[in-house]
Amino acid sequence: MTIRNIRLQMEQDPQHRGSFEFSGRVNRDQRDLTISLNGTVDASDYPHDLTAAIEQVNWQLQGADLPKQGIQGQGSFQAQWQESHKRLSFNQISLTANDSTLSGQAQVTLTEQPEWQLRLQFPQLNLDNLIPLNETANGENGAGAAGAEANQRCRARSFLRVLMNRPIRDWQGFTADILLQASNVRWRGMNFTELPRK
């Protein structure tokens, strides 16, 4: 992994409230991530309580096994750590990825058995713009596209095989309460609406 063009600027007042700006690039496995963000931090009640607001994050991911145009987006969210409950929360999540959108909240309570709770909504989820099943490196169709799709399916099967072969104890170390809702989904040219999943 290569990290470059790192820029970090932080300011803090006597009450331990501050602001920050960060930007940088990360390269790994023939993929390049460019990210920039700015926000505020309130550590006036640390270590009992720590809050942060990411007011703006912009990112772009390009490279292998991604759409030709890459995946780019922006967003914002709030984060809070509560020491008394050992709980990390993410609220007012609002993110985009190409023409897909995500909103909601998430939290994890770090007890002996971590407890996850996710409430995520996808007003628009265009998987065709996020997972390139029918694209080749030069964007042409035909035998090359068929080979690329077969290769993608092979990778998916390998990934699922790894998950299924994991020891059962790996899935018993936490609990999760997950609610996913998708208003509009596009997958392989087909449109679906109102898909709740819990």
Q: What is the pLDDT along the chain (198 residues), one digit of tens a residue?
A: 899 999 999 999 999 999 999 999 999 999 999 999 999 999 999 999 999 999 999 999 999 889 999 999 999 999 999 999 999 999 999 999 999 999 999 999 998 899 999 999 999 999 999 988 754 444 445 555 555 555 555 555 555 555 556 565 555 688 999 999 999 999 988 999 877 666
Match 């399916």 to its residue by tokens.
Answer: 153
What's the structural domain count of the chain? 1
Residue 88 lies in a domain: yes
- Give pLDDT, residue 188: 87
Half-sphere exposure of 182 (CA within 13 A, CB side): 15
Coil/strand/helix, residue 182: strand
Residue 152 lies in a domain: no
- Give pLDDT, residue 194: 78
Residue 36 lies in a domain: yes
Contact 193, 186 (CB under 8 A): no
Contact 116, 175 (CB under 8 A): yes
- Give pLDDT, residue 139: 47
Instruction: Tell me the residue range of the domain where 96 lies.
Output: 2-133+172-197
- Give pLDDT, residue 174: 84
Give the pairing of strands 100-109 and 115-126: antiparallel
Residue 147 lies in a domain: no
How much is the pTM?
0.78
Residue 155 lies in a domain: no
